[in-house]
Amino acid sequence: MGRPAGETVIARIVSMVEQASATKARTQLFIEKVEQRYSVVMVAATLALFAIPLALGQDLQGSLLRAMTFMIVASPCAVVLATMPPLLAAIATAGRHGVLVKSAVVMEQLADVTQVAFDKTGTLTEGRPRLTHFRALPGTTLSERELLTLAAAAEDGSEHPLGRAVTAAARTRGIRLPTPTDFGAVPGQGVRAHVAGHLVQIGSPAHLLPEGTGGPARALVAELEDGGHTAVVMLLDGHPAAVLALADRIRPGAAGAVDRLTALTHAAPVLLTGDNPRAAAHLAAQTGITDIRAGLLPEHKVDAVRDLQQQGAQVALIGDGVNDAPALATAHTGIAMGHTGADLTLEAADAVITRDELDTVPTVIALARRARRLVIANLAIAAAFIAVLVAWDLLGDLPLPLGVAGHEGSTVIVGLNGLRLLRGAAWRRAAGGLTERRP
């Protein structure tokens, strides 16, 4: 049965776009707060500029024109408009290229990123692992096909890519799966279910094989992990029955994305994974990552993110699974892989890579930094126009039409300058200028 229309991926994306359009950046909120007080001062100054010269004997028309001109040129319209157009234009451009940024606040946060951390399965890899080995352990009375039937049935309710791989392998071999009962899943540890009168548990060796137990299983796990595989253990009625090995392909462009992020942030990305250290090291060697933290449960990923933040880093975490959701919520900026990502991960993330293209991550960070530079430039332009026109009006004789033209012209210039990021060249420039020094 399909999902209700309101729960589809498209519906969630539409909702996220609406939320992004309704949010205001921190800079914008600060400007609006200052603008409220500034407006009070401006009105008071306008009244004084009208009343004082009039009281000193200046004619009514001259006093009124000077006060009106001052009120127009001192109005902070351009200042208020300086922030949101660049950020919203950057959000729109990123969206056209497969990165959904949920708010203007997130776009500002992306500009501050100094350290990137990756999950492994479904992030640096394609998230479509395949079962490469299924080996029954000595002393098991059931055949490998019977064990695979039980394993696949237990994994049938799992959302994890490894579980889907086991189920897919069984169906490829024409195995009909019995219906499991009492299914349960613990993020980072594995699944358990009752199938055909047996208690089936499938999960990480660290969780299912306590120290000093499972000698043959441990030896087989070590052999498979040395080959770069992800190994999981199957327990049947509490006893080790089989070891499963799975392999996933690295995403195209993953190594290039790591290199570009290193150049952009001046810090090498970190790998945070629940997978075994051998498989993690095998993948890291292909991508150029040297800081590897493996065998992590969801809470350990949160601790790793906090550790990086305590070292002064502004961390962007990229992940896809339920296991990553707590760490995504903890990170300075959480980025989810939209195609393979779990629902909870998409909700917890601040941005979503809708096309699962890792090379868009460094590009959107570079785009966010350019948007920030445009905000600063816009504020400088607006302030310069106000200062020059106000000084001209107070110290000289600024004609009202020229004051109106200067005020409206500054507003138009600031708006158009921010909208430059809507051009397709803005994304290409962000993609091509990743070696620039961080502002």
pLDDT score for 110 = 94
Is 419 part of any domain? yes
Question: Of 247, 274, 296, which closes a domain?
Answer: 247
Tens of pLDDT along 61-73? 667 777 777 778 8
Backbone angles phi, psi at 10, to 5 degrees: -60, -40
Place 316 in a pLDDT band, splitting at 50, 70 and 90.
very high
- Is the predicted pLDDT of residue 360 greater than 90, yes or no? yes
Place 439 in a pLDDT band, splitting at 50, 70 and 90.
very low
Q: Mark residue 331 as left, alpha or beta (left: phi above 0; alpha: psi -120 to 50; beta: remaining).
A: beta
Q: Which DSSP string corresponds to 71-105?
A: HHHH--HHHHTTSHHHHHHHHHHHHHTTEEE--HH
- The sign of the torsion formed by the CA atoms of 227, 115, 19, 378 equals negative
276-280 mean pLDDT: 87
Residue 259 shares a structural domain with residue 243: no
91-105 mean pLDDT: 90
Q: The domain that contains 348 carries what CATH number?
A: 3.40.50.1000
Distance CA 127, CA 339 (A): 10
| Residue position matching structure tokens 């071999």 | 173
40-64 mean pLDDT: 71
17-46 mean pLDDT: 58
206-235 mean pLDDT: 83
Tens of pLDDT along 70-91? 778 888 888 888 888 899 999 9
pLDDT score for 14 = 46
- Pick 310 or 49 by higher pLDDT: 310
| Number of structural domains the chain divides into | 3
Question: Of 247, 271, 292, which closes a domain?
Answer: 247
Residue 122 shares a structural domain with residue 268: yes
Distance CA 344, CA 361 (A): 21
Percentage of the chain lying above the pLDDT 90 cut:
36
Residue range of the domain that includes 391: 23-88+364-432
Q: Which two tokens stand for residue 290?
A: 């040297």
Distance CA 342, CA 161 (A): 10
Tens of pLDDT along 129-179? 899 989 998 888 889 999 999 999 999 888 777 888 999 999 999 999 999
Residue of 119, 156, 275, 320 with catalytic role? 119
Active site annotation includes 119: yes
Q: Which two tokens stand for residue 262?
A: 């290193």
**DSSP secondary structure code for residue 250 in this structure:** B
Q: The domain that contains 216 carries what CATH number?
A: 3.40.1110.10
35-44, 192-201, 323-332, 423-432: which range is least confident on average?
35-44
Q: Which two tokens stand for residue 414?
A: 């600031």
Q: What is the distance of C-alpha 180 from the center of its chain? A: 36
Residue 137 shares a structural domain with residue 219: yes
226-252 mean pLDDT: 89
Is 439 part of any domain? no
Percentage of the chain lying above the pLDDT 70 cut:
85
- Pick 7 or 232 by higher pLDDT: 232
